[in-house]
Structure 1
């Protein structure tokens, strides 16, 4: 569809009743406008957030003046208004909105002047609106004391257990004028299927008219063109293009993510729509078996083990996330071995930039509909908004081949079952009708090429517990909340859609965001940037049985980051070793929306925590892991690659001093998409001294006891640093066992990064680290930012 002429300049914003105006950026939001004007402190630093809730309680007015545009029909097109808005042009109200997740179009040609047109958008308080809906329909339970389920607005604007409360307002998507005549493409819906060696694109079109004339509709792809006539007065049509033997779009690791340009043209230059599409099939195999109900995603008929991460909005102020930021963050996910991003239901329907990048990189995406952790009313005015929003977003996103699954909600069916909601509701609606009727009907009617799943978690049958690990998808949160991370090993899940463990952000990130002197786990700013209930208590309890209580802030920071990496790696290795019985893991969470202690692998400033490096190892296409089996130990080879894996591995039992104790060579042959366990001979698997020995098999390590019970030596090593074109080559040679050797260059320079962490070395072995963004070559300086697990428990 032809692009509107942007109206993005000359805007101001003011609080209603307050004469002071500030320059405004469009697209943008009031918080970033006030911040740019110096009118407020940065809401994401220290505890400034606590002094700014008044912003969400005000009415804000955005205004600009612009020259007109001529046309048979001129529309004001607003792709996104946040959220409760009245739109006024030259003193005349042209429309009202109450949904952040929809776009709007208003016929304004009759109101336009050649020059001096004044456009105002008045944003009422989201709180005031939501509380009014709550009062009208009755209160519903939710996970947080904020009214986010009574308004179609990004839920995490109201705060979360990892995010700040910053209730925004503003023109958050492009806005402009669209002049057109005769007819335009109002909606284009390409249904892409593969039938044998044929690719089919059924292009369903709706048109809007000013004249009731016959029109030609044409679609072109891969050098193939098809056309139909839309009769005079008709407003819908379908044209089908057949592509023989198309190159298929494949997820990363299984083939190339081939894309084709699809162009749809209405009449002779009346309107044009262009997108890239991909030919591929998607199905969800949930055929019951002896173990329960599997949840297996198949692309082009091939089962895919999901190595996933949960995605939240990458900034509390989402308009600051541009294509470059998406590219960086999704690129970090891909580099960590991720093949699937789950877009969580308390955020937003992500931008086309997000999905374009996923298309290009072969990353699979599951999109939640936007319902999270609450009972949602099904009465008006919300019911109509939910249906309209879902129809718009399904049509907008369905051209993207990376999108492989629609999910009805996050944790709401589970919440209704287990969190005491039913008693509180006393018969009131809570969203079940959306998840089991409205949304599946919309997906089936508009986007039949993709599966829909009612919730995360969901067991596939209302008669089953919604979070039963043996059926469908499950969330595992007793680990972190109440259990040690080794409790993951008690689960035999079919698909884990959420599980996570916390750690603080990188030191440089925390230091930028918090001005406490000195930093301490319980200093005011650090505590403010910990939003989880009893978060620091759970961090401390999570160390029990693994590490002693940290003596200093630096030890606390290192121990909790290391424990996070260990916990998630432990869980993933266990779950992947169950493949294909277990068909996927989606870690909570990839990213943060501000600098915070959270479950993320990449912190709010985009820095990679040690967890990210652990993910890169355990999310490799091929993984070796040592696992308990039948009262002993086995080497498990996991193969997610497209081809079989036949190899041998040397398994060694060695002392902490590097002395060989026993070894064996084991062979394995692993078909694609499976895991094979090979027993380790008892003389190798059985330690003589459990506190002073380990097993090594390639990149897999097994320690026979927890860190607190191991006789680690004090870490001894030598460091050599030499300059490179963009930083330093750092060589660390061990003269003792070094477990989980990690370099923290951001402690020397916030801009510095390193290419490896969590390296375990035996005496005499050397690790090489590539450090960028810092030129320091003094080994003594580098020794101050090297850490090992030995540091935390060494008895020497």
Structure 2
């Protein structure tokens, strides 16, 4: 049996060379593997936290230095024929030595490496060294070697398109420039004799109640005189095949009658099976074993032509699924800090917000096994980009070979996961080629199309034909069509944030929107933890440094125009921009969902952050939920009731994303600001069938306002509720918010009961301002006069912290900011 030994202990870090601006460092620094240079220096108290204040700027010397990781380890296991050092991930440009001898060099963060070291290992003490070279220097060298072929456009400066490394490490409009280096995944010494398993590619499919596993297995170290067997086991069944003498590849299958079916959450359960493949010799001795959890489900992408253009519908187990999604970026700039527990927390937050799909964006990484296993378990669909984002890419060597190697490895690595339902070629690169002036720069030079239209689909056809592939996001399905058409394929909507108000979302009826977003700052607790300006303000140095988007704060204020008066205090600015973000995205999602089945997906940019920053995220860099998260939970609820403009009037629209029909009474009222009912309309039973959007006609006395500045609509259908205000906030005659507040301390939470004495719109308790671990269970509630609402405040530490006191000063409403003047 193969023996695997993790090399995790006794690592040291040394700065070998670099710019003179670097501080003096000890010759040897204790290092963690997996880890990064930044986190090792931080743990040794040799640098300030790069996430605090403007520290990022002063730490650029780290990415421009040469770093050496080294460890000594004992080896007494010399009775095996093969000894291999396996590096699951090296970031990025590395030279590796064992006992002073070079065993290899790496130039790709996104793939693993294996080196035969049997001839170099010593009995007893051995020394392993890994030198990391400045990645930008390497990228510049490749760029120089390519000459005129390297003249390519990119959205961000630098040589990052010429090296296969996480692009957002080089800075993005939400991320810092923290160019990492280090052994970011485990290192293992593997000892074995005879043979071992190589790449295992399991195609797990479901058709007509029959589950099938087709395993394509490579075997290494095969000797011609040996006869080996492979056995595949799943769901209590197994199949054995014999590997002919001298062969190193086999393809065999196993059928399962009526397996339990894996579903996205909300549509069914997520049963997972242990898939086990063993390699045995003629005597029945197990030489190697490969085990993963997997699930049976079918998936396809419907792109058929229709009267609206061409569809873009994800179909799982023959059910067209509306993708209620969010884009996922790396959850930390320093990837080893994203533990399995952190993945579980963040993905659970996504599920709790009624999100059913995460798109893993192409400027990050091919996500880890822990990420995918969590999505498998929790029932979130995953769309995985290949790693190309916002740039043309060279198709020449040495880049092309690295692209092919990483794609083949990661497609095979992720094949067992039922949550993975779509591969996407790139982020915005086809769009850039057509609409951002790239052709003027490129001329006839290759720019990446050969990857997206040829190499990647070829790899998938050979390796994993069970999943759909789409060449880009956005992409309209043909290079003969403009890439960002609402009527074809998937589109991005960014003019709304960059140029126009968010009402413009209603001008689009996309077939599938894979990116749209609106900015807001992180929670106040996160700002206080990471910015130590004497007087925090939207434009104070620390706060402004944590805003990476060009003219981002200007756009935040411009987005308020027409809705709210200019904020007069930092606290008002903070809350109203968060509120506006939530309002913008909720409006966009409800509009798109109301057009089901023409529109079949809305993937908001973005779920999470990699550091504390003003961004488009719903969960900030400290893991705290912004008001947007609560708006997503409302807008993505399986039973949605919304009021939308249609045909020069207003209509209520019920949307049902469940497996059962929705048949309940419908009630809508037109009320004045004091809560008086001016008109009402009731339908005793509205039937909204499963996976359907149903329009509900509204009478003229409901949709016609006598005084838009003082009237609004409230509709209810079962537990679903929808509001429509006839005037924007700055023009609405909000009362000064008045309410009664009752606090009750339970064993593990503080319960706050709010009884409204006036209309309270978007009632919000900013619990994090009372305690950094405090979280409230609901936000953005509209409460009518005389009505009561209960809010529970819980704490990440479990019990109520000593000295915690609820202060109504943490309460905010739209009433307050709409009534304030700049």
TM-score grouping bracket, smaller chain normalisation: over 0.9
Q: Do residues 707 (structure 1) and 716 (structure 2) align?
A: no
Q: Which residue of 2 aligns with 1:609?
A: 626
Cα deviation, 1:105-157, whole Å, max 9, x if unaligned, reads 10001111122100000111101001111122223111111221110000001
CA distance in 2, matches of 1:404, 1:32: 34
CA distance in 2, matches of 1:778, 1:679: 53
Q: Which residue of 2 aligns with 1:673?
A: 691
Kept after mapping to 2: 8 A contact 1:149/1:376: yes
1:144 maps to which of 146, 156, 161: 156
Q: Do residues 751 (structure 1) and 773 (structure 2) align?
A: yes
CA distance in 2, matches of 1:56, 1:358: 33
CA distance in 1, matches of 2:448, 2:820: 56
Comparing 126-135 and 561-570, the one that deviates more: 126-135
Q: Tell me which stretches of 4 or more aligned residues in structure 1 moved more than 4 Å.
A: 774-781
Q: Which residue of 2 aligns with 1:381?
A: 398
CA distance in 1, matches of 2:803, 2:507: 47
CA separation of 1:16 and 1:200: change in aligned 2, threshold 3 A:
same
CA distance in 2, matches of 1:471, 1:99: 35
1:183 maps to which of 182, 186, 195: 195
CA distance in 1, matches of 2:819, 2:93: 59
Q: Which residue of 1 aligns with 2:250?
A: 237
Q: Do residues 254 (structure 1) and 267 (structure 2) align?
A: yes
Q: Do residues 793 (structure 1) and 818 (structure 2) align?
A: yes
Kept after mapping to 2: 8 A contact 1:719/1:782: no
Kept after mapping to 1: 8 A contact 2:162/2:399: yes
Q: Do residues 664 (structure 1) and 681 (structure 2) align?
A: yes
Q: What is the SS of the residue equivalent to 2:666?
A: strand
Aligned ranges 1:303-702 → 2 under 5 Å: 303-666=320-683, 667-698=685-716, 699-702=721-724
CA distance in 1, matches of 2:594, 2:623: 30
Comparing 743-752 and 585-594, the one that deviates more: 743-752
Cα deviation, 1:49-83, whole Å, max 9, x if unaligned, reads 00011111111110000011322101001000000
Q: Which residue of 2 aligns with 1:26?
A: 33
CA separation of 1:412 and 1:718: change in aligned 2, threshold 3 A:
same
Kept after mapping to 1: 8 A contact 2:565/2:820: no
Kept after mapping to 2: 8 A contact 1:493/1:582: yes
CA distance in 2, matches of 1:73, 1:776: 56
Aligned ranges 1:757-796 → 2 under 5 Å: 757-773=779-795, 782-794=807-819
> Structure 1: 5+ residue runs without aligned partners?
none
Q: 1:329 deviation in Å? A: 0.2
Cα deviation, 1:699-723, whole Å, max 9, x if unaligned, reads 2111001001100001111111111
Q: What is the SS of the residue equivalent to 2:62?
A: helix
CA distance in 1, matches of 2:340, 2:690: 34
Cα deviation, 1:460-514, whole Å, max 9, x if unaligned, reads 0110011111100000000010010000000011000000000000000011010
Kept after mapping to 2: 8 A contact 1:652/1:660: yes
Aligned ranges 1:153-192 → 2 under 5 Å: 153-192=165-204
Q: 1:782 deviation in Å? A: 2.2
Q: 1:775 deviation in Å? A: 5.2
Kept after mapping to 2: 8 A contact 1:220/1:264: yes
CA distance in 2, matches of 1:503, 1:678: 34
Q: Do residues 119 (structure 1) and 119 (structure 2) align?
A: no
CA distance in 2, matches of 1:197, 1:574: 36
Kept after mapping to 1: 8 A contact 2:423/2:467: yes
Q: Do residues 62 (structure 1) and 69 (structure 2) align?
A: yes
Q: Cα RMSD over matched residues?
A: 1.5
Comparing 363-372 and 249-258, the one that deviates more: 249-258
Q: 1:674 deviation in Å? A: 1.7
Q: Do residues 80 (structure 1) and 89 (structure 2) align?
A: yes
Kept after mapping to 1: 8 A contact 2:358/2:383: yes
Q: 1:239 deviation in Å? A: 1.9
CA distance in 1, matches of 2:803, 2:609: 34
Aligned ranges 1:169-318 → 2 under 5 Å: 169-209=181-221, 211-212=223-224, 213-267=226-280, 268-318=285-335
CA separation of 1:610 and 1:603: change in aligned 2, threshold 3 A:
same
Kept after mapping to 2: 8 A contact 1:747/1:785: yes
Kept after mapping to 2: 8 A contact 1:217/1:239: no
Q: 1:332 deviation in Å? A: 0.3
Cα deviation, 1:144-196, whole Å, max 9, x if unaligned, reads 11221110000001010000111011100000100011100011111112232
Kept after mapping to 2: 8 A contact 1:732/1:768: yes
Q: 1:781 deviation in Å? A: 5.4
Q: What is the SS of the residue equivalent to 1:16?
A: strand
Q: What is the SS of the residue equivalent to 1:201?
A: strand
2:138 maps to which of 129, 134, 158: 129
CA distance in 2, matches of 1:193, 1:700: 41
Q: What is the SS of the residue equivalent to 2:432?
A: helix
